Amino acid sequence: MKALFIGGIKSGKSLNAEAYILKLTQHKPLYLATTEFFDEEMQKRVQQHQKQRAQRFVTQEEGVDIYTVIKQHEGAVLVECVSMWINNMLYHGRDFQQIQEEMHRILSLDKEMVFVLNDVGSGVIPENALAREFIDISGKISQQIAQGCDEVYHCIASIATKIK
């Protein structure tokens, strides 16, 4: 079983994804945290997520090579969040083709996975070329993940609506 939770920032997608994967498995799932710490504000956001999930998950942090982490873990995996992973991949010099190939490898794994992804395609086209590249890649990767998942949920105001 693979599922995607997509929505805007602070839409409740993380809470819904956490509850979903906890119902999916009898064992503590892996919480694969992809955020790399660049500033104090981001550190505070991460600390809030850590409090939120408490002791219900086994947490591992990896910002780039998530395929290896997922492959090595025997149980269910929550990838939080794909948007940050895409950001990290671009920051570390990976291009769209490399990101797409890595996601293909991840989706090919035979294991229970839940993905969290920001819906960044509902806004205006930014004037910044890097921001446009991020939005384009994120949109294409979200399509790839949605096609590879059994279920897809769109989150608004902490309400998850099943769309696939």
Contact 13/61 with Cβ under 8 angstroms?
no
Set 49, 73, 92, 104: catalytic member: 49
- In whole angstroms, how large is the CA radius of gyration of the chain? 15
Q: Answer yes or no: 73 catalytic.
A: no
Encoding tokens for residue 27? 């064992």
Question: How many other CB atoms are found less than 10 A from the CB of residue 126?
Answer: 13
Q: Give dist(CA 101, CA 85) in Å, integer.
A: 14
N-terminal to C-terminal alpha carbon distance within the chain: 13
Catalytic residues: 49
